[in-house]
Structure formats: structure tokens, C-alpha cells
């Protein structure tokens, strides 16, 4: 092992409190810390204001407080090609993509990691709430100690050879503690609001944003039995299990999105939160990634998350010959959504994940979920 | 690790004698030069002497020197001040695609206000063509603004010929001479320059001061409003200590012009020779034989500006891409885009190195070795 002072750690800095504290902790430990801001998206508005410029200003101020060098790198083209194109394609296909998973896979821990290494970095660090553990020469990824903030769901596409070069300095901390550290050190970003939503959309109206890139095709809202309940604004604006924005009034239980028919441009709706159409017992996942692929048996049981803010569920997993996974749920699950990630855990260890592709109920693929 | 500064075109260190010249003014001369008492008179004397020195350095009259906060303000005052004032004579402005943003963005804003603007193309040698200029001039032209030396490539523009061409035409000739002043002999009268912008901090003077030379013939509106300083053309209490420092910087530059030219040229040649010795692939952008000694712009095939600059800095070498940054990330240079075309690789793999007071033959040689090491690593 090199001395810490000779160990260069490039920190991906967003201008937020988390990555600021990540850099601070590494600096205090004595590493040779370099802060880098990634510019992935140009959102310059009609007044010439760009959130990236504002965020970079915060990176500059914090890095100067910490007395570490800082630079910026532009991945707008890579982001567009690898993340945004995927994002639009998935919406076009009637699915609900997860751009954060893709950004971690293709940008932060690929293009950005390469850039960090080209600056002589030994490690890349980020402010994610996740932990890396070395175990028998292998690198494992563990959930963040703050269960509410755990971000392993978004990091499910990483692999052990990448984790070997990665540090998550906040992994063992609670968010409140991170804020407290920031305040104790009077960091410029100590009281900065956490960013919400998808990075390139920010605080903007999602519908409006999407309509700039994809033509919206309004169509009919029907029940699965064919009864017309109203008009939808375009299938891409709806996700499975959604209640808001349907505008179906009347008596009885509220209405929910239960499916989509892309060919006929129909949005399927059903009444009540516990509508049977929303439930399934299995799924098929594609883009399967195992963090330690050589340690995964062909079939096994573990727990899984089907969306970010959700408790784990018991599942059994079968690796299929075509590279996909068949995931069977111990109990039926509500509103599994194609395009989102399914992420597998063994206790606190994140095993990897896949993209939800097909939803299965009673051994039959549900063709109405899109 | 010794940090080596190769970014003198961005700004320069203060000359020791400049600091010495400013210290007593800061500590003893606080009066307002416009005041009608002894404190004011004392300050006014410094300002007058500085103005005389500036005027002499370019063969102008003292009345023709307007102190500003720097090169950017001088450009703004020259361009907006004359375009608006002389609009009744015509509505056409000629400039080039490679101007410094201080001029370019000002002219673009005039374009938005209804002026017709011709942006002369720039050729691969980094120069504009006099033919293009001649063809662009019309009866409607009121202003021609062409920089003296480009700040990214160091290429010298044919200012004398432009001045000649415009003699007898109503259009004013403005030149941004921020990178030229101090190293090139400038005689505004002989060269037919009507207006010229100069900055102090590029010639080892303090920041926050510069001047606009505006010939007595030039009709110019103020663009800021307030008191009657600078013969009603630039209001605001004058920065007297900075003027004194600027004066010293100008005196030193005029005294040592030839020596500095030779010295900086020797640094440039040494730097390029060392890069060759280290056997890396590179290409000088723009006409090497027609460039200011202090600036060289080099393209490193297969490398990328952001990785180059960050690596240079981490190894203690300060250089620049010369172009604008948004959110800290380097946008393709508008100058190199004008020369080579928008998507040419030179626009994303070129670095500007600029030499000056902070250099010695030893540190230039060492810098070349470090640059070569980084380039080799990144293009391997």
C-alpha cells in the first residue's frame, strides 16, 4: 500500500453537500485529493443561466476551502449517446427507464473513472451512500449504513474490478451526520438543498420536458375489459401503479394505471390500489449484472428491490441460458414496472441487478404492462 | 514541486518596480484627483504623469488617453461609444470571427440592436485577409474593429495595412492591442489607428486599469454616466495607485521592449525544441513566423484539452486553452474553430503556452519535459 499522501483520490463533485463532505473526509485522512466536476447536460436557459454553472461555483468554493485542486470535465456527448438516448428509447417503448442506473454504469464509473485514472488517480470517490468491502481478495458492495439513503439500487451495474478502484467515504454515515460535518466545517454547501428528481430535468415539469423530445400521442383510457374511461395525454407520461393525473372521477375506489398497449395507444386503468391486475408473481430481467459473477450459483434465493424506495422482498433467482434471469417472488408483488431495475441482496451485500423486462403472473407473461 | 507559469497571456506577475512605485501612492496619496484642495492636487499629479507616459508610448496626445478599468471596458467604450454616436452616418460594423470576447460579444450585442455586422473569416495561418476586408467595406461602414495580436494564437494581424486602407473612409478603425502593447512598436498616428484598447495587467502592471486611446477626431459617447472625469467620457473616481503602477509597467516595457522580445522568443524556441527532443507529436497553430514572441498555440494530436490541462496543473505547469469555460469545462475555442472549422480536432486538443516575467530558460526547459511526459502518457 502506498502512503495516503501519495495516494491520489479523484472525487466526483456535484456541488452538493454529500460529495463536498466526501472530499473533506478524504482530505482529513491525508489523501492527495483532486475534485472534479462533471458537466453532462447543458440546461442554459433564455437568460443564460445554467444550473451546472451554479453547481460548479459551489465546487470551486468548497475545493478552495479544502485547499484541493479542482477541474471540470465535459461528458455531454457521452451522456447524450449513452444515457439520454436510452432514456428516450425506453419511453418510446412504453417503459419507465432509470437514467441514474445508466449514468452510474456508463458515465460515472466508466468514462469518468477513465478520466480520473488518466489524471494519475489511484481511486475514484463519490458521495454515494454505499460501502465497499474487501473479502477474500474480492470486492463487495454493501448497503449504506443509512438505510434511508442507501444508493446501492442505483449502483447495481458495478462490478468487483470497478469497486477495487472506488471509495464511498459516506457509506458508513447517516445523512444527518454528513450535514453536521458540513456545518461543523462551515462548508459553503452545508445548507444547500439536496437535488431532487432526474438530474437533467431538475425542478422542471416532467411532462413538459419529455414533450420537447418525444411527440405526445393522446389516446383512450380503457379498463382491461374495454370500457372507455377517458383520454390520456400520451402513454409515456404514465407509469404502472400511478394514481395521480388520470382525471377519472365518480364513485367508488380511486383509479390506477395498470397497463399500456403501445400498438393501439391505449392506457389501461383499473379501480382500487389493490386491483388484481397490478399484481404478479415473477419477472424476467435483462442486462443482468453480478458484482462477483463467478460466485453466483445458477439458482438461489435472496432478497430483491423492484424500485428505489421499497423494502426488500424474498425471491428465488434462476440464471437462464440466454443470459436473462427469472425471478420468482415469495409473495405476489404490486406494480412491477418494466424498465426499472431489480436489485438483489444477500443481507447487506448487493449482489447485482437487472432491468425488469417481462412481468409474469401465474406462469403467463402479462402483455398489458407494456 | 515548483509551479511553472506559462500563462502570461492570461495575466502576468507584477514587476517588483511596479509594486515599489505603487506603495507610496497607496500609503500617502488618498486624495480624489477631482478635488480642489491639496490632497486632490497631489493625486491629480500622479494621474497626469501616468497619462503623459501612456500617450508617449504610442505617439498620441494626452487628451486622447481615457483611463478605464481594463481592456474589456476599453473595448466596450470604443465600440458602443462610437457605434451609437455615429449611427446617422451608417449602420455597418466590420470585425473578425476571432476577436477576444470583450470585443466580439460587444459587437454581437450591437448586432442585436440592429447594426449590420460583417465577421471576417480567419484563415489557417491565423490571419484575416485584406482582400476580404476591402470587399466588405461599404459607404455604410462606420466602424472596423480588428485585434492587433490574437490572444490564443499570438498571430499578428496586418494592422498597418488596415489603417492605410481605411484612410479617407469615414469608418473608425479600432484595434484591441491588449496582447500587442508592450512588445510591438505602435505609432497610432502613422498606423492610422483611431482607437486602441490596452490593459495593464498583461504587461506586469496591476489589475483593474487599462486605457482606451481615442483619437481627437473620434466622436464618442460615454457608456457610463456620472461625474466629469476623463473629459466626460468615463465617469468615476480614478484609480490613482493603479495608474502609478501602470505607468511604471509601461516605462519598463518601453525601456526593455527589444530585450523582452528577444528573451520571450528564445523561450518559445527553447520550449518547442525541447518538445522535439522529447519526441512527441505536436503542431504549432497559426503562422509561427508572424506571431508575437510571448504566445504559442500547440495542437497535440490524440489528446484532449481537459485531460491535458488538468494533468499539466497536477504536475505544476500552468497553461491554458485560451478559450472560454462554462461550468469550468472547456468549450471548443472560437478562434481555432474560425481557423480550422467547427469540428476540427485542433479545437479540442490545443493548448496555449505564453511566456514572460515568471520564466527562466531553466524553468521553460523543465516545463517542456513535463509537458512531453504528460502528452506521451495521454496519447500512448
Do residues B187 and B207 touch, judged by C-beta distance below 8 A?
no
**Choice among A50, A63, A103, A302 that is catalytic:** A103
CB contact under 8 A, A118 and B307: yes
Chain A residue numbers with beta carbons less than 8 Å from the beta carbon of B306 are: 71-74, 115
pLDDT digits (tens, 9 = 90+) for B309-320: 999 999 999 999
H-assigned helices in B59-203 = 71-85, 101-112, 130-136, 159-166, 188-191
Note the ipTM here: 0.88
Do residues A127 and A21 touch, judged by C-beta distance below 8 A?
yes
The pLDDT, as a whole number, for residue B324 is 63
First to last CA, chain A: 51
Distance separating alpha carbons of residues B45 and B30, to the nearest angstrom: 12
Distance separating alpha carbons of residues B100 and B105, to the nearest angstrom: 8
Query: Closest-CA residue in chain A for B303?
Result: A118
For β-strands B329-330 and B325-326, DSSP reports them as antiparallel
User: Phi/psi at A135 (nearest 5 deg)?
Assistant: -140, 110
Query: Closest-CA residue in chain B for A15?
Result: B327
Tens-level pLDDT at each residue, chain A (370 residues): 789 999 999 999 999 999 999 999 999 999 999 999 999 988 777 666 778 888 999 999 999 999 999 999 999 999 999 999 999 999 999 999 999 999 999 999 999 999 999 999 999 999 999 999 999 999 999 999 999 999 999 999 999 999 999 999 999 999 999 999 999 999 999 999 988 777 888 777 888 899 999 999 999 999 999 999 999 999 999 999 999 889 887 888 999 999 999 999 999 999 999 999 999 999 999 999 999 999 999 999 999 999 998 999 999 999 999 999 999 999 999 999 999 999 999 999 999 999 999 999 999 999 888 6
Do residues B180 and B153 touch, judged by C-beta distance below 8 A?
no
The CATH-assigned architecture of domain B4-12+256-379 is: Alpha-Beta Complex (3.90)
Chain A residue numbers with beta carbons less than 8 Å from the beta carbon of B312 are: none
Chain A residue numbers with beta carbons less than 8 Å from the beta carbon of B328 are: 37, 39, 56, 59-60, 70-72
Q: Which uninterrupted H or E stretch holds A130?
A: strand A130-135
CB contact under 8 A, B311 and A70: no
CB contact under 8 A, B326 and A71: no
The pLDDT, as a whole number, for residue A370 is 66
Do residues A358 and A284 touch, judged by C-beta distance below 8 A?
yes
Is the CB of residue A200 less than 8 Å away from at least one CB of chain B? no
Q: How far is A251 from chain B (nearest CA, A)?
A: 53
Grid cell in block for residue B296: 504559442
Tens-level pLDDT at each residue, chain B (380 residues): 889 999 999 999 999 999 999 999 999 999 999 999 999 999 999 999 999 999 999 999 999 999 999 999 999 999 999 999 999 999 999 999 999 999 999 999 999 999 999 999 999 999 999 999 999 999 999 999 999 999 999 999 999 999 999 999 999 999 999 999 999 999 999 999 999 999 999 999 999 999 999 999 999 999 999 999 999 999 999 999 999 999 999 999 999 999 999 999 999 999 999 999 999 999 999 999 999 999 999 999 999 999 999 999 999 999 999 666 666 777 789 999 999 999 899 999 999 999 999 999 999 999 999 999 999 999 98
Q: From the CA atom positions of chain B, what is the Rg in Å? A: 21
**Choice among A50, A199, A302, A350 that is catalytic:** A199
Test the A interface: residue of B310, B312, B370 with most A CBs within 10 Å: B310
Q: In what order do the strands lie in the sheet with A70-74?
A: A70-74, A32-39, A8-12, A123-125, A166-167
Do residues B69 and B263 touch, judged by C-beta distance below 8 A?
no
Q: How far is A52 from chain B (nearest CA, A)?
A: 6
Is the CB of residue B374 less than 8 Å away from at least one CB of chain A? no
Of B186, B170, B33, nearest to B94 (Cα)? B170
HSE on the CB side for B269, CA within 13 Å? 7
The pLDDT, as a whole number, for residue B323 is 65
For residue A12, the cross-strand partners are A36
3-state secondary structure of A44: coil
Grid cell in block for residue A30: 491525508
pLDDT digits (tens, 9 = 90+) for B51-71: 999 999 999 999 999 999 999
CA-based max dimension of chain A: 70
Q: Which uninterrupted H or E stretch holds A331?
A: strand A325-334
A50 in catalytic set: no
Query: Closest-CA residue in chain A for B379?
Result: A118
3-state secondary structure of A333: strand
Catalytic residues of B, which ones?
325
Q: How far is B325 from chain A (nearest CA, A)?
A: 9
DSSP letter string over B137-184?
A: --TTEEEEE--SB-TTT-BBP-HHHHHHHHTTSSSEEEEE-TTTBTTB
DSSP letter string over A261-314?
A: ETTTTEEEEEESTT-GGGEEEEEEEEEEEETTGGG--SEEEEEEESSSSS--EE
Is the CB of residue A56 less than 8 Å away from at least one CB of chain B? yes
Q: Return the residue matching grid coordinates 476623463.
A: B230
CB contact under 8 A, B306 and A72: yes
Q: How far is A114 from chain B (nearest CA, A)?
A: 11
Of B194, B188, B187, nearest to B145 (Cα)? B194
pTM given for the model: 0.92
Do residues B26 and B241 touch, judged by C-beta distance below 8 A?
yes
The pLDDT, as a whole number, for residue B322 is 65
Chain B residue numbers with beta carbons less than 8 Å from the beta carbon of A56 are: 327-328
Chain B residue numbers with beta carbons less than 8 Å from the beta carbon of A37 are: 327-329
Chain B residue numbers with beta carbons less than 8 Å from the beta carbon of A71 are: 306, 309-310, 313, 328
Q: How far is A138 from chain B (nearest CA, A)?
A: 29
Q: Return the residue matching grid coordinates 439500487.
A: A153
Is the CB of residue A34 less than 8 Å away from at least one CB of chain B? yes
Chain B residue numbers with beta carbons less than 8 Å from the beta carbon of A39 are: 326-329
Chain B residue numbers with beta carbons less than 8 Å from the beta carbon of A64 are: none
Helix, strand, coil percentages for chain A (3-state, nearest 5): 30, 30, 40
3-state secondary structure of A35: strand
Is the CB of residue A64 less than 8 Å away from at least one CB of chain B? no
Distance separating alpha carbons of residues B283 and A352, to the nearest angstrom: 47
3-state secondary structure of A226: coil
Which DSSP state fits B187? -
Is the CB of residue A120 less than 8 Å away from at least one CB of chain B? yes
Alpha-carbon torsion (B275, B276, B281, B282), positive or negative: positive
For residue A37, the cross-strand partners are A72
CA A229 to chain centre: 33
- Polymer length of chain A: 370
CB contact under 8 A, A74 and B306: yes
CB contact under 8 A, B328 and A50: no
Which DSSP state fits B184? B
CB contact under 8 A, A72 and B311: no
Distance separating alpha carbons of residues B112 and B106, to the nearest angstrom: 10
CB contact under 8 A, A115 and B329: no
b vs e for B324-355, b when ≥16 Cβ sit within 10 Å of the residue's Cβ? eebbbbbbbbbbbbbbbeeebebbbbbbbbbb
3-state secondary structure of B294: coil
Distance separating alpha carbons of residues B15 and B104, to the nearest angstrom: 30
Q: How far is A70 from chain B (nearest CA, A)?
A: 8
Of B121, B65, B368, nearest to B234 (Cα)? B65
Cβ-Cβ contacts under 8 Å for A22 (sequence gap 6 or more) = A11, A125, A126, A127, A168, A169, A170
Q: Give ∠ CA B99-B152-B358 in degrees, rounded to 5.
A: 130
CB contact under 8 A, B313 and A73: no
Distance separating alpha carbons of residues B294 and A197, to the nearest angstrom: 49
Measured CA to CA in angstroms, residue B233 lies from A38, B24, B67, B82, B222 at distances of: 44, 29, 9, 11, 5
Distance separating alpha carbons of residues A152 and A141, to the nearest angstrom: 8
Which DSSP state fits B291? B
Query: Closest-CA residue in chain A for B378?
Result: A118
Distance separating alpha carbons of residues A294 and B363, to the nearest angstrom: 52
For β-strands B172-176 and B195-199, DSSP reports them as parallel
Query: Closest-CA residue in chain A for B331?
Result: A74
Do residues B271 and B363 touch, judged by C-beta distance below 8 A?
no
Do residues B227 and B208 touch, judged by C-beta distance below 8 A?
no
CATH of segment(s) B16-255 = 3.40.640.10
Q: Chains A and B: how many Cβ contacts under 8 Å? A: 56
Helix, strand, coil percentages for chain B (3-state, nearest 5): 45, 15, 40
- Report domain extents, chain B: 4-12+256-379, 16-255
Is the CB of residue B27 less than 8 Å away from at least one CB of chain A? no
B314, B327, B378 ranked by CB distance to A56: nearest:
B327
Q: How far is B282 from chain A (nearest CA, A)?
A: 20
Q: In what order do the strands lie in the sheet with A266-271?
A: A228-232, A219-222, A266-271, A255-261
Amino acid at each position: 500500500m502506498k502512503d495516503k499522501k501519495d495516494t491520489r483520490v479523484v472525487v466526483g463533485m456535484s456541488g452538493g453537500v454529500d460529495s463536498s463532505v466526501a472530499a473533506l473526509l478524504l482530505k482529513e485522512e491525508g489523501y492527495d485529493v483532486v475534485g472534479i466536476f462533471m458537466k453532462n447536460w447543458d440546461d442554459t436557459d433564455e437568460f443564460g443561466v445554467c444550473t451546472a454553472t451554479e453547481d460548479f461555483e459551489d465546487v470551486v468554493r468548497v475545493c478552495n476551502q479544502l485547499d484541493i485542486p479542482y477541474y471540470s470535465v465535459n461528458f455531454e456527448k457521452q451522456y447524450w449517446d449513452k444515457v439520454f438516448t436510452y432514456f428516450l428509447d425506453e419511453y418510446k417503448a412504453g417503459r419507465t427507464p432509470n437514467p441514474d442506473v445508466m449514468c452510474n454504469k456508463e458515465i460515472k464509473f466508466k468514462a469518468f473513472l477513465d478520466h480520473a485514472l488518466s489524471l494519475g488517480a489511484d481511486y475514484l470517490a463519490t458521495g454515494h451512500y454505499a460501502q465497499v468491502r474487501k473479502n477474500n481478495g474480492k470486492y463487495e458492495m454493501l448497503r449504506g449504513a443509512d438505510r434511508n439513503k442507501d444508493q446501492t439500487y442505483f449502483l447495481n451495474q458495478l462490478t468487483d474490478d470497478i469497486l477495487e478502484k472506488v471509495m464511498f467515504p459516506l457509506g458508513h454515515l447517516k445523512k444527518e451526520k454528513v450535514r453536521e460535518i458540513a456545518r461543523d466545517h462551515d462548508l459553503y454547501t452545508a445548507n444547500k438543498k439536496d437535488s431532487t428528481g432526474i438530474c437533467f430535468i431538475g425542478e422542471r415539469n416532467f411532462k413538459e420536458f419529455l414533450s420537447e423530445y418525444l411527440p405526445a400521442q393522446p389516446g383512450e383510457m380503457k379498463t382491461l375489459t374495454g370500457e372507455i374511461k377517458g383520454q390520456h395525454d400520451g402513454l409515456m407520461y404514465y407509469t404502472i401503479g400511478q394514481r395521480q393525473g388520470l382525471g377519472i372521477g365518480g364513485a367508488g375506489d380511486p383509479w390506477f394505471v395498470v397497463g399500456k398497449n403501445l400498438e393501439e395507444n391505449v392506457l389501461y386503468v383499473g379501480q382500487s390500489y389493490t386491483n388484481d391486475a397490478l399484481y404478479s408473481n415473477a419477472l424476467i430481467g435483462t442486462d443482468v449484472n453480478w458484482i462477483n459473477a463467478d460466485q453466483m450459483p445458477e439458482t438461489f434465493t435472496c432478497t430483491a428491490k423492484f424500485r428505489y424506495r421499497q423494502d426488500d422482498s424474498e425471491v428465488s433467482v434462476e440464471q437462464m441460458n440466454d443470459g436473462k434471469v427469472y425471478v420468482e417472488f415469495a409473495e405476489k408483488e404490486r406494480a412491477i414496472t418494466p424498465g426499472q431495475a431489480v436489485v438483489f441482496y444477500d443481507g447487506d451485500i448487493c449482489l447485482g441487478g437487472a432491468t425488469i423486462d417481462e412481468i409474469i403472473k401465474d406462469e403467463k407473461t402479462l402483455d398489458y404492462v407494456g | 514541486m515548483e509551479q511553472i507559469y506559462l500563462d502570461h497571456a492570461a495575466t502576468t506577475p507584477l514587476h517588483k518596480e511596479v509594486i515599489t512605485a505603487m506603495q507610496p501612492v497607496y500609503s500617502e496619496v488618498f486624495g480624489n484627483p477631482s478635488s480642489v484642495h491639496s490632497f486632490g492636487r497631489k493625486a491629480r499629479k500622479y494621474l497626469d504623469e501616468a497619462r503623459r507616459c501612456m500617450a508617449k508610448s504610442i505617439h498620441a496626445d494626452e487628451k486622447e488617453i481615457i483611463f478605464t478599468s481594463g481592456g474589456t471596458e476599453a473595448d466596450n467604450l470604443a465600440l458602443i461609444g462610437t457605434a451609437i454616436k455615429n449611427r446617422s452616418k451608417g449602420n455597418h460594423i466590420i470585425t473578425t470571427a476571432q476577436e477576444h470576447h470583450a470585443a466580439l460579444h460587444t459587437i454581437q450585442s450591437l448586432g442585436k440592436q440592429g447594426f449590420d455586422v460583417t465577421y471576417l473569416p480567419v484563415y489557417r495561418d491565423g490571419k484575416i485577409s485584406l482582400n476580404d476586408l476591402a470587399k466588405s467595406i461599404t459607404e455604410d461602414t462606420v466602424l472596423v474593429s480588428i485585434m492587433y495580436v490574437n490572444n490564443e494564437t499570438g498571430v499578428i494581424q496586418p494592422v498597418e495595412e488596415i489603417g492605410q486602407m481605411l484612410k479617407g473612409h469615414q469608418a473608425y478603425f479600432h484595434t484591441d492591442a491588449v496582447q500587442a502593447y508592450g512588445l510591438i512598436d505602435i505609432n497610432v498616428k502613422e498606423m492610422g489607428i483611431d482607437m486602441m484598447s490596452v490593459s495593464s495587467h498583461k504587461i506586469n502592471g496591476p489589475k483593474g486599469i487599462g486605457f482606451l486611446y481615442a483619437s481627437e477626431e473620434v466622436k464618442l459617447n460615454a457608456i457610463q454616466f456620472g461625474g466629469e472625469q476623463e473629459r466626460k467620457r468615463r465617469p468615476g473616481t480614478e484609480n490613482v495607485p493603479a495608474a502609478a503602477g501602470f505607468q511604471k509597467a509601461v516605462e519598463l516595457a518601453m525601456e526593455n521592449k527589444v530585450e523582452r522580445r528577444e528573451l520571450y522568443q528564445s523561450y518559445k524556441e527553447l520550449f518547442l525544441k525541447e518538445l522535439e527532443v522529447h519526441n512527441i507529436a505536436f503542431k504549432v497553430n497559426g503562422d509561427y513566423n508572424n506571431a508575437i514572441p510571448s504566445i504559442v498555440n500547440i495542437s497535440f494530436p490524440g489528446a484532449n484539452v481537459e485531460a491535458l490541462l488538468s494533468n499539466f496543473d497536477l504536475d505544476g505547469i500552468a497553461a491554458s486553452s485560451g478559450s472560454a469555460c462554462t461550468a469550468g469545462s472547456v468549450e471548443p475555442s472560437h478562434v481555432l474553430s474560425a481557423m480550422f472549422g467547427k469540428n476540427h480536432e485542433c479545437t479540442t486538443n490545443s493548448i496555449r503556452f505564453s511566456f514572460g516575467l515568471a520564466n527562466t530558460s531553466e524553468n521553460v526547459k523543465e516545463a517542456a519535459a513535463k509537458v512531453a511526459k504528460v502528452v506521451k502518457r495521454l496519447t500512448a
